[in-house]
Amino acid sequence: MSDAIIASTVLWGFVFIYSVMATMDFGAGFWSMVYLDREKTGATNIANRYLSPTWEVTNTFIVALVIAIYSMFPGAAYTLGTILLVPGSLILLLLALRSAFLVFSNVATEYRKILTYISGVAGILIPALLISVLPISHGEYVNFGDDGASLDLGKLFTSPNEYAFIGFAISSTLFLSSLLLSDYSKVSNEPEAYKVYRKDAMIAGPISLVMAILIMLTLRTEANWIYDKMMDDLPLLIASICFFLVGGVALYLPFFTKHNVTGMPRAAVVAITIQYLIASYVYGKAHLPYMVYPNVTIESGFTDPNSFRAVFATYIAGFAILFPGFVYFWKMFMKDSRYLQKKQSKNPLKGG
Amino acid sequence: MDHVTIARAMFGTTMGFHIIFATIGVGLPLMMLLAELMYQKTNDFHYAVMAKRWTKAFAVLLGVGIPTGTIAGVQLSLLWPGFMEVIGRVMALPFQIEIYAFFIEALFMSIYVYAADRIPPWMRIISLTLVAIGAVASAVLISNVHAFQGTPAGFRVENGRIVDVEPWKAFFNKSFLVTAGHVALSAYTTGAFVVASVAAFKMLKAGAGSMLYGFHKKALMIAVIAGGIFALLTALNGHATTQHVFEDQPEKLAAAEGLFETQTHAPLTVIGWSDKEDREVKWGIEIPWLLSFLAGNSFDTEVTGLNDFPEELWPPLWVHTMFNIMFITGSLLILLAIVTVFWDKWLKKDMFPKFLLWIFVLSGPASVAAIESGWILGCSGRQPWSIYRTLSTANSVTATGNLGLLYTLFIIVYAILGAAVVFVLLYYFKRNTVLDDIHRAEQKGVPLFGSNS
Ligand code: HDD
Ligand code: HEM
Ligand code: HEM
């Protein structure tokens, strides 16, 4: 494997981890807004309990991702920075409002409603813009001129392909987050919340599958090169759909616990994660070697070999140092029953 | 404004906004740690209440510090892709390592805040220590990129291509230690005086002799002692920083000092502003020979004036004012701390005179102003270079035009966030007074930290 392939694999890994964490994060924010007025189900409570300790950690991943891109592929920095200036800035603006108001909503309890609405709505728009990076990187909306590349916003926002991606981002966010939250509510022993989230997952799941198919259909006409290369891996795509079905079955499957709750959310979570993993592997592989089609490839963008080695060494060292921290964090917030089953009146975060 | 100017203004605005929260984000965890340690030492639960309240403020400030930092990081590559191309090739390490520092801060901050009632006190202190280390490490690392911009190292440019990259040599560039030290020390100074500011204001409101007065006085004293020590260290290190700038970026030093004529026995000019037409500082006060001494530890040191540099390579001349604000504030903070400690420990007075408290109220905003000035001096004083004598700012900027609208949107969002954060802090601390917290701490079985989150 060449260094550039290793680097793009690392990058792909970051993208995948971030997408799962971000869908959870933005989705949980959205659900906590939707169920704000239905206190007795505890659904908002569950979403907040997940969200409060994790949003900072999730946010750090997006920073890690951006830094990984320009430290491993600085040759792509100029083109990427230029074409992503407008969508990137919009994401940043929304992200700023979202994070700040999320924190504020837990502090200024009297204004909780309006603050939660702002952060919930801003949060659900972010995945829609984030995913737009993918169609932009396919190249049809980029004009390569003599003085660099530029993005044709008009063309981007009139393309059905872009909207298929947006639809997929939003439905996937809702799907993955409700699925994970249903699991989280089950571990937390909150049957009411569990039922709510399981139902949401059952609705959002099929929609996201339809959106994924729409993406393929529109890719075929708009970015045929990547469509063809993805179709080379048709068996894997089919495997991915099979895992989706497994996930669906696991949700419906009767499963006996002391609360008589049906479904096996944990199994569904695993199956669906595998589904997304396979699908994004196929997509990522088809995307290679292009970073921005057709002018920027991973080879042309790749950094100096000395730099790459140094950066890679810090990945290993950093991971070794951080791993125990992540495990401790996981234990504290995902496993500790004292945290998960905290019975609090309205909101576990209520200050004072 | 032309394209480069808007980009510069836009990035400068982002940084100017982020730095307020970032600096307090470095300084406040140290203050929290000091309060926790005082609590373990004295068993006076007032200190635990203090730590708890500062943690709350810190958590709210993070709500702005983190997203604005994210903006800074991403905007750097969106607005200055030419710059990031070089940085990515040569100087990626600090950014990369900074990520680990962010993770440490984020993980243990959540643990400290949301798990405080489930972990033993020693683990609380360890978590908090890791938060403080994470915060200062991120400041040190990001300042290293700034240091590299002034003293680039670890690569050569051959026919416009970057060759012979040695990433660790770039990392340990010449001004790394002194710059990082200055940033870290000045952040601790600022964190302490911001705390002092609030405590002094509360003392003025509480009225001498009351229990609240005593509570806030304890906070004030921690802040003054820590702040005084750090202000002194900042100034000593500032002297070293000045010498580095003298050696490595002489035009920046000349502009900062308002020196036009090259000379030995150069005077230090304080106050006043540089006049480009007449090539002199108007209304300044000259302290003879001092600049030569500061720059080279000897009155015979020859300091190069701006006249010996081509005018198109001059930094903006108003950085002289920025230097003054920083330098004068730093000196006054040291004086303030000495007077206060003298008053409290030597004269053993229980009460502070009102005017002294009012000076304290001003000391926090003044430190923040010093930070802002220092950074504007650092970044604008480097112009027209983005990497000194290697890459110009004009060659770093994005090719995408029409930044005006985006700039306006960013300003609006910063205004909203700035107003909201002040409002939320005031709202929260009005509704949860010190007395509430003290009362809660006195009751058995009601965990003080459980209410922290
Ligand atoms: C509380 C804040 C504070 C205080 C009291 C001081 N500084 Fe400072 N100074 C900073 C906060 C700061 C800063 C914001 O942190 C800067 C910006 C860039 C940097 O490295 O640190 C800075 C930069 C900076 C620079 C420019 C470095 C560069 O261009 O890279 C010089 C020459 C000095 N300082 C010198 C001093 C001196 C002689 C001081 C005497 C008291 C002083 N500073 C006090
Ligand atoms: C020297 C000046 C700076 C200092 C002292 C500083 C310090 C900090 C600190 C302490 C934080 C943690 C959040 C907080 O406590 O508010 C933070 C966040 C952040 N800063 Fe800065 N920063 C500085 C400049 C920059 C610059 C120039 C960039 C961009 C390149 C940047 C990027 C970030 C990012 C991305 C975050 C968010 C991290 C996260 O997601 O957890 N900072 N900064
Ligand atoms: C956090 C405090 C900081 C503030 C308040 C600040 C302020 C500014 C200002 C005002 C400008 C515009 C300069 C001009 O055109 O006159 C600027 C430019 C710039 N700053 Fe800083 N800065 C800060 C920290 C940093 C750090 C830590 C870095 C390094 C990562 C950095 C990198 C840059 C770059 C790349 C530019 C673009 C223009 C140039 O290259 O000179 N800044 N900053």
Q: Quick: pLDDT tens for A99-128.
A: 999 989 888 888 888 998 999 999 999 999
Report which ligand 1 atom has the smallest distance to the Cα of B330.
5
pLDDT band at B231 (very low <50, low <70, confident <90, very high): very high
Check residue B383 and give its pLDDT: 85
Residues 6 or more apart whose CB falls under 8 angstroms from that of A256 comprise none
Q: Give the residue whose CA is nearest to atom 11 of ligand 2.
A: B22
The pairing of beta strand A296-297 with beta strand A290-292: antiparallel
CB-based burial label for A260 (10 Å; 0-12, 13-18, 19+): exposed
Average pLDDT score, chain A: 86
Strands B273-275 and B280-282: antiparallel
Q: How far apart are CA A20 and CA A172, in angstroms?
A: 10
> Minimum mean pLDDT among A67-81, A114-128, A243-257, B291-305: which range?
A243-257
Residue A220 half-sphere exposure toward CB, CA atoms < 13 A = 6
- Chain B nearest-CA distance from A228, in A, is 32
The whole-number pLDDT of residue A132 equals 93
Helices B92-114 and A305-330: crossing angle in degrees, nearest 10, is 0
Confidence of residue A344 (pLDDT cuts 50, 70, 90): very low
Average pLDDT over residues B161-180: 92
In the structure, what pLDDT confidence band is assigned to residue A351 with cuts at 50, 70 and 90? very low
How much is the average pLDDT of B316-326? 90
Structure tokens at A289: 């070697």
Residues with CB under 6 A from ligand 3: B 8, 11-12, 15-16, 18-19, 80, 83, 142-143, 145-146, 372, 375-376, 379-380, 382-383, 386, 393, 396
Q: How many CA atoms lie within 13 A of A86 on its CB side?
A: 18
| Rounded Cα distance, B69 and B6, in Å | 20
A349–B113: do the CB atoms touch at under 8 Å? no
Q: What's the pLDDT score for residue A38?
A: 75
Task: Tell me the HSE value of B24 on the side-chain side, using a 13 A CA sphere.
Answer: 26
Chain B partners within 8 Å of A83 (Cβ): 400
Contact (Cβ atoms closer than 8 angstroms) between residue A226 and residue A140: no
Determine how many CB atoms are found less than 10 A away from the CB of residue A317. Answer: 12
Task: With cut-offs at 50, 70 and 90, classify the pLDDT of residue B73.
Answer: very high
**Closest ligand 2 atom number to CA of residue B76:** 30
pLDDT, position A348: 35
Pocket test for ligand 1, best of B182, B324, B362, B371 (most atoms within 8 A of CB): B182
Q: Which of B11, B17, B91, B138 to probe ligand 2 with, by most ligand atoms within 8 A of CB?
A: B138
Do the beta carbons of residue A272 and residue A176 sit within 8 Å?
A: yes
What's residue A262's pLDDT?
A: 65
**Cα torsion through A251, A204, A230, A292, rounded to 10:** -140
Give me the pLDDT at residue A349, please. Answer: 35
Assess whether pLDDT exceeds 70 at residue B446: no
Give the nearest partner residue to B99 out of A67, A326, A332, using CB atoms.
A67
Mean pLDDT within B412-432: 93
Q: Give CA torsion, residues B256, B258, B262, B264, to 10 deg.
A: -80
- Sequence letter at residue A323: F
Q: Among A36-40, A282-286, B77-81, whose mean pLDDT is lowest?
A: A36-40
Strands (E), chain A: 142-145, 148-151, 290-292, 296-297
User: Measured from the CB, is residue B106 less than 6 Å from ligand 2?
Assistant: yes
Can you give the pLDDT at residue B177?
95
Write out chain B residues lying below 8 Å of A101, CB-based.
420
Instruction: Quote the CA–CA distance of A72 and A83 in Å, as a whole number.
Output: 19
Cα(A69)–Cα(A309) distance, rounded to whole angstroms?
A: 15
Within 8 A of B431 by CB-CB distance, chain A residues are 352
Residue B453 confidence (pLDDT) above 50: no
Residue B149 CB–ligand 1 contact under 6 Å: no
The pLDDT of residue A202:
86
In chain B, domain spans: 3-442
Q: How many degrees, rounded to 5, is the angle at CA A345 between CA A343 and CA A350?
A: 100
At residue B276, does pLDDT exceed 80? no
* Res. B451 pLDDT band, cuts 50 70 90: very low
Min Cα separation B189/chain A (Å): 26
- Which residue has a Cα nearest atom 39 of ligand 3? B386
Confidence of residue A261 (pLDDT cuts 50, 70, 90): low
Q: Using alpha carbons only, give the angle A115, A118, A119 rounded to the nearest 5 degrees.
A: 85
pTM of the entire structure? 0.92
Highest mean pLDDT among A294-303, B108-117, B299-308, B411-420: B411-420
- Indicate whether A256 pLDDT > 60: no
Looking at residue A251, what is its pLDDT? 79
Q: Are B175 and B145 in contact (CB under 8 A)?
A: no
Mutate to test the interface with B, among A3, A48, A56, A90 (most CBs of B within 10 A): A56
Backbone angles phi, psi at B387, to 5 degrees: -125, 120
Query: Percentage of residues in chain B with pLDDT exceeding 90?
Result: 54
Residue B432, φ and ψ in degrees, nearest 5? -120, 85
What tokens were used for B198?
């609030």
Residue length of chain A: 352
Q: Please state whether the peptide bond connecting residue A289 to the residue before it is cis, i.e. omega within 30 degrees of 0.
A: yes
Distance from CA of A257 to the nearest CA of B (A): 28
Tokens of B252: 């920046």
pLDDT of residue B139: 96
Say whether pLDDT at B284 is over 80. Answer: no
Tens digits of residue pLDDT in A188-205: 888 888 888 888 888 898
pLDDT, average across residues B216-243: 94
- Are B366 and B325 in contact, with CB atoms under 8 Å apart? no
Q: Strand, helix or coil at A205?
A: helix
Atom of ligand 3 nearest to the CA of B79: 37
Reference B212, options B221, B222, B202; nearest CA is B202
Q: How far apart are CA B338 and CA B327, in angstroms?
A: 17
Q: What percentage of chain A carries pLDDT values higher than 90? A: 37
| Partners of residue A148 in chain B, C-beta under 8 Å | 399
User: Which structure tokens are listed for A63?
Assistant: 């920073």
DSSP label at residue A144: E
ipTM of predicted assembly, 2 dp: 0.89
Which of A32, A60, A57, A114 is CA-nearest to residue A349?
Answer: A32
Is residue B378 lining ligand 2, measured as CB closer than 6 Å?
A: no
pLDDT of A257: 52
Q: How far is A76 from chain B (nearest CA, A)?
A: 8
Question: Which ligand ends up closest to the CA of B398?
Answer: 3
Instruction: Count CA atoms closer than 13 A to B200's CA, side-chain side.
Output: 24
**Residues of B in Cβ contact (< 8 Å) with A70:** 77, 84-85, 87-88, 92
